[in-house]
Chain A
Amino acid sequence: MTSIARKQAVQPQGANVRERLRAMDDSAVVTAFLGGEERAFSELVERYQTRLLNFVYRTIGDREKAEDLVQEVFIRVYRHLHRFDRSKKFSTWAYTIASNLAKNELRNRSRNPLVLFQTVQKNWQDDDRPVQFEDATSRPDDMYRKRHLREIVEESVAKLPEHHRNVFILRELEGKSYEEIAEITDCNLGTVKSRLNRARNSFAEIVAPYMD
């Protein structure tokens, strides 16, 4: 009885902490975690897991691997949060780690393309399989009707050069500012603008035939 009463007393307190953490901005959550509040880390995971997963997935194109990489991001955040410069934005730091891991993944793939193919092929679901552009029977309007436009778009993103794609996703999908993108990708502002412009033009060129 006593333990149940204690649990009931603790639970609202825990719920209160979670509510409080949810209301805080990233910087305050980070401070809470560094102050010994372990639940603050769960709050950071809650806030960023989907965003980081989408960013990494769009960058590397392999969902399972993207999940692994996002987990690695959180492990690194957990281990090195005490070294994080709190004058900067937490999200920028997290995206920088994710961006570097995604880059490494793509680099490893380019070194070992056979492994990549086998891995991706194994992980393909029917729904995830890209459109076969070589198939002469499938026309763009059919694809629209068959709801394959998503695959076309994803394929078009994948066709972009890596450094263009990274900037493109950060801007168009994550809504990052040019300055943040410059910090995440470790480039100057001019490079970010130029890469984004090229990426947008290339993407539009690839997708245009399927939009008419």
Chain B
Amino acid sequence: MDCRQFRENHCAFVDDTLPGIELVGMQMHLTECEPCAKHDAIVRRSLMLFRSLPTIQPSSHFAERLEQKLEQARISDELMARSGRSRKLAATVAITSTAILGYIGFSLPQVDSPRDITFPPVVALAPVSDPVSTMASSAPEMVAAASAGLPIWTAAFLAEQSPVHFASLEHANTLR
């Protein structure tokens, strides 16, 4: 056995899990190889040191704190279970109501869709022409002749200065 093999098997050697032949080989190597023997001794001693570390004990209030935490856990689990139940109930109600609405929607008699709206024909009557109203509604000739580009006040001034001749139906007839 060489040093490399010894190091590879050393873990199992320390744990006494090597098969007989390999165990003998390891022991033989220990007697022949000083560095490996030293390595073996250091590892075993260091492990002994580690295993002899004092164990720590839980603090005095460990159990009390744990009991409090467990109580909180029980309460929160209970609440979770309750909210889970109410969520299930809400989901059931929602599904049921949707199903009922759907059923109502489908089971109602189909209403005819509205056709094109037909309005009654529009009847328009031509108003009888009234001469008075025609005259009243007709614009004075002078105003119609006024230039669009003139300011209003000038037009008004001119209108004041000029003799007033309102256009009338009779006047129009005479002009023809």
Q: Does A30 contact B (CB under 8 A)?
A: no
Q: Name the distance in Å between A166's Cβ and chain B's nearest Cβ.
A: 14
Q: Which B residues are CB-close (under 8 A) to A173?
A: 50-51, 53
Contact assessment for A54 and B55 in the assembled complex, using a CB-CB cutoff below 8 Å: yes
* Segment of A7-15, A88-96, A129-137, A203-211 engaged in the interface with chain B: A203-211
A26 to B70, CA, bound (A): 20
A45, A54, A79, A197: the one contacting B66 at CB < 8 Å is A45
Q: Name the distance in Å between A67's Cβ and chain B's nearest Cβ.
A: 6
Q: Does A188 contact B (CB under 8 A)?
A: no
Q: Which B residues are CB-close (under 8 A) to A70?
A: 58
Decide yes or no: A75 and B62 within 8 Å by CB, A50-B55, A200-B43 being known contacts. Answer: no
Decide yes or no: A196 and B49 within 8 Å by CB, A67-B59, A211-B42 being known contacts. Answer: no
Contact assessment for B47 and A154 in the assembled complex, using a CB-CB cutoff below 8 Å: no
A54 to B50, CA, bound (A): 12
Q: Which B residues are CB-close (under 8 A) to A211?
A: 42, 45-46, 49
B12, B53, B62, B70: the one contacting A150 at CB < 8 Å is B53
Q: Name the distance in Å between A181's Cβ and chain B's nearest Cβ.
A: 12
Q: Name the distance in Å between A187's Cβ and chain B's nearest Cβ.
A: 15
Q: Name the distance in Å between A158's Cβ and chain B's nearest Cβ.
A: 12
B11, B62, B66: the one contacting A193 at CB < 8 Å is B11
A149 to B55, CA, bound (A): 15
At the interface, is chain B mostly helix, strand, loop or mixed? helix
Contact assessment for A204 and B73 in the assembled complex, using a CB-CB cutoff below 8 Å: no
Residues 68-93 of chain A, each 1 if its beta carbon lies under 8 Å from chain B, else 0: 00110011001100000000000000
Q: Does A157 contact B (CB under 8 A)?
A: yes
Contact assessment for B77 and A172 in the assembled complex, using a CB-CB cutoff below 8 Å: no
Q: Which A residues are CB-close (under 8 A) to B73?
A: 75, 78-79
Q: Which B residues are CB-close (under 8 A) to A58?
A: 53
A149 to B53, CA, bound (A): 10
A71, A79, A200: the one contacting B62 at CB < 8 Å is A71
Q: Does B54 contact A (CB under 8 A)?
A: yes
Residues 131-170 of chain A, each 1 if its beta carbon lies under 8 Å from chain B, else 0: 0000000000000000001100110010000000000000
A67, A71, A150: the one contacting B54 at CB < 8 Å is A150
List the B residue with the shortest CB-CB distance to A203.
B46
Q: Does B57 contact A (CB under 8 A)?
A: yes
Residues 81-94 of chain B, each 1 if its beta carbon lies under 8 Å from chain A, else 0: 00000000000000
Q: Name the distance in Å between B41's Cβ and chain A's nearest Cβ.
A: 9
Q: Name the distance in Å between A177's Cβ and chain B's nearest Cβ.
A: 10
List the B residue with the shortest CB-CB distance to A54.
B55
Contact assessment for B70 and A200 in the assembled complex, using a CB-CB cutoff below 8 Å: no
A57 to B62, CA, bound (A): 15
List the A residue with the shortest CB-CB distance to B47.
A172
Contact assessment for B12 and A74 in the assembled complex, using a CB-CB cutoff below 8 Å: no
Q: Does B63 contact A (CB under 8 A)?
A: yes
Q: Which A residues are CB-close (under 8 A) to B39?
A: 204
Decide yes or no: A78 and B43 within 8 Å by CB, A150-B53, A153-B53 being known contacts. Answer: no
A158 to B42, CA, bound (A): 19
Decide yes or no: A200 and B58 within 8 Å by CB, A45-B63, A71-B65, A75-B73 being known contacts. Answer: no
Contact assessment for B58 and A67 in the assembled complex, using a CB-CB cutoff below 8 Å: yes
Give A residues with C-beta under 8 Å from B.
45, 49-50, 53-54, 57-58, 63, 67, 70-71, 74-75, 78-79, 149-150, 153-154, 157, 172-173, 193, 196-197, 200-201, 203-204, 207-208, 211
Q: List 6 A-B contacts (CB under 8 A).
A: A45-B63, A54-B55, A58-B53, A153-B49, A193-B11, A204-B43
The list of the 9 closest CB pairs from A to B, nearest first, reads: A197-B11, A204-B46, A207-B46, A204-B43, A204-B42, A208-B42, A71-B66, A49-B58, A54-B55
